[in-house]
Structure 1
C-alpha cells in the first residue's frame, strides 16, 4: 500500500484557501467600489502572477 503524500495534500489545501481568500477580496472590492470592479480585478490578477 502506498504512503499518503501529506505535502501534496497540504499544498492543495493552501491553494484552495488562497483562492477562496482572493475571491472574497474581489467581492469585497466590488462591493466597496462598484464602478472600479474591472480595475480592481486587473490589479489582483497582476499581483497573483
Structure 2
C-alpha cells in the first residue's frame, strides 16, 4: 500500500506550501498519510524555534 513519508516529493511540496502560508496544515489532504508526514516534517523544522 502506498504511504507518504517525510522524504516523499509530495510531502516536501506540501511542507513548503504550509511553511510559506499558502495553505494551513488543516488544508493538507489526509490520504495515504500525507497530512501526518507533513505535520512530522513541520514539527521537526519548528522544534528549534
Structure 1 length as normaliser, TM-score?
A: 0.36
Kindly indicate whether structure 1 or structure 2 has the higher relative contact order, using CA contacts under 8 Å at least 6 residues apart: 2
Question: Larger Rg: 1 or 2?
Answer: 1
